[in-house]
Amino acid sequence: MDASILDKAQSWLNSNIDEDSKQDIQRMIDASDDSELVDSFYKDLEFGTGGLRGIMGTGSNRMNKYTIGKATQGLSNYLLKRFPNEEIKVAIAHDSRNNSQYFAETTAAVFSANGIKVYFFEDLRPTPELSFAIRKLNCKSGVVLTASHNPKEYNGYKAYWEDGAQVTPPHDKNIIEEVNKIESFDEVKFDKRSGLIETIGVDIDEDYLEMISSLSLAPRAIKNQKDLKIVFSPIHGTGITLVPKILKKIGFENVHVVQEQAEPDGNFPTVVYPNPEEKEAMSLALKKAQEIDADIIMATDPDSDRVGIGIKDHHGNFVLLNGNQTGALLLWHVLQQWKEGNKLDGNQFTVATIVTSDLLPTISDAYNTPCYRTLTGFKYIASIIRDLEGKKKFVVGGEESYGYLIGDDVRDKDAIASCALIAEMAAYAKDNGKSLSDMLIEMYEKFGFYKERLISITKKGKEGADQIAQMMVGLRQNAPDKVGGEKVIKKIDYQSLKETDLISGTSKKIDFPKSNVLQFLTEKSTKISVRPSGTEPKIKFYFSVNTPLEDKSKYDEISGQLDEKIDRIIADLNLN
């Protein structure tokens, strides 16, 4: 074991922390197996694509009162330096996870102890509402306590800036510098000033829901299809607070909540992972949909920034759509409604991440609306919206990991608004004699049949992190020559910011923020993207293949061929 790990554990043991934490550290030191001690102390939690996120427990690499307190003190110090002689206001929300409320109260205490005004949500609320509140209340920053869709052992701390987006450079690095300057927990001000903490709730809810209502593009279709059968599951999270309300507010009267998953519960008792990307997490919603012959299924993750949907396919079977399919359908619906309303004048734009399907920019191009590409993480989408504010109008954007945003009053992915617009999209299709499955196939026929797949390989702890790093080094040094029978012709390295033509060997610089991401493109426009997750101990491989769909009747045949191609690529990369 690295001596620095034991030194860090001893420094915690000798600090002014509570006795229970000290006993826990001593237990880890005394254990015959040092793996828990190593994983708890081999590094400090850092701001990744989603802020702080980690397993709850004692240690510098764990989510606990002290790591949260230190992060909040560092953020407070930075805010006080950044906005001298100004009133500084922040907003705080939390989800249904175990300890989320306690961690939120700890965060509020530290902010207030530093003389910062705190708006504190009275109970659990969705992450996008926190983003909305920051802008509505003219806050300089905000924090939501959540680990999004991670397993129950995790919690997290998402820090936001005054534009309602998660912190981006240079603020994230500057905050970390302030955090790292704190040498002792004695420097963290934990003694709250109650007079600086104001409870918020219903008034912000009403303003937020009114804003979402204003995004509706097809009210006539909703009125005609008000009995659309909708099954909704919050998967034990915050979605239960506002999704049923927004669906009712815009006119839907036949919403069926999955009762087994309606109660907020940080143990997530009915699922292995509270993630709508996982079929297992959607199983109860699928069962309910089959019972009532639903038109659409929707499920949100614990903090309600992601939504997964299920529809009936053209054979009458319920299937789950992936994030690329939902994102493309939503983007197409919104742009088409804008076009029919004569609202597209060439001054609009959409945004998608570099690992999201190329179908989204293809659709945008068809509407003469540029689609900007950005790194994974919604804070980068928000950054583009901020940069173009006052110059161009943001319409819709998203990423393959089930996160979408319509309009710019929120600056993070918003499952509450997405549920409203997805339900509207289903109503619009039905009002025109179609199903969402018909709409999906029509989209592929019109713009090209794009098919994607994601493989995530989990590597836990310090050893796992080292293995993931070695996998990325290996791919950088030895690009695959051929995959799925197609020659690889281009490598894009977002860490070195270099695009290499693998045929000629020439390279050119790319204008992008640095990130540990690799992409390989083949002669037939197949794309493979590889990146370590910023929030989980995983390395992710994204596969995208495409071909024309010239006849709807060939859908099943072409779909099978694309699946086989992805299977061959995965086999060629030894990822089976």
Q: For residue 530, how far is the Cα from the chain centroid? A: 17
Quote the CA–CA distance of 74 and 40 in Å, as a whole number. 21
Quote the tokens at residue 32.
Answer: 């015959």
CA 351 to chain centre: 14
Catalytic residue list contains 148: yes
Phi and psi angles of residue 420, each rounded to the nearest 5 degrees, phi first: -65, -45
Q: List the catalytic residue out of 148, 216, 233, 437.
A: 148
Long-range contacts of 245-249 (CB under 8 A, 24+ apart): 245/205, 245/209, 246/209, 246/212, 246/213, 246/416, 246/417, 246/419, 246/420, 247/419, 247/420, 247/423, 249/209, 249/213
Phi, psi for residue 259 in degrees, rounded to 5: -65, -35
User: Residue 510 in contact with residue 497, Cβ under 8 Å?
Assistant: yes
- Measured CA to CA, the distance from residue 564 to residue 111 in angstroms comes to 54
In single-letter form, the type of residue at position 247 comes to: L
Residues 237, 415: Cα–Cα separation, whole Å: 12
From the list 280, 289, 285, 326, the residue with the least C-alpha distance to 306 is 326
Distance CA(62)–CA(154), nearest Å, equals: 9
Q: Per residue in 516-554, is it b (16+ CB within 10 Å) or e — as a string? A: bbbbbbbeeebbbbbbbbbbbbbbbbbbbbbbebeeeee
- Tokens 């009002």 label which residue? 431
Tokens representing 16 are 């002014």
Positions annotated as catalytic residues are 148
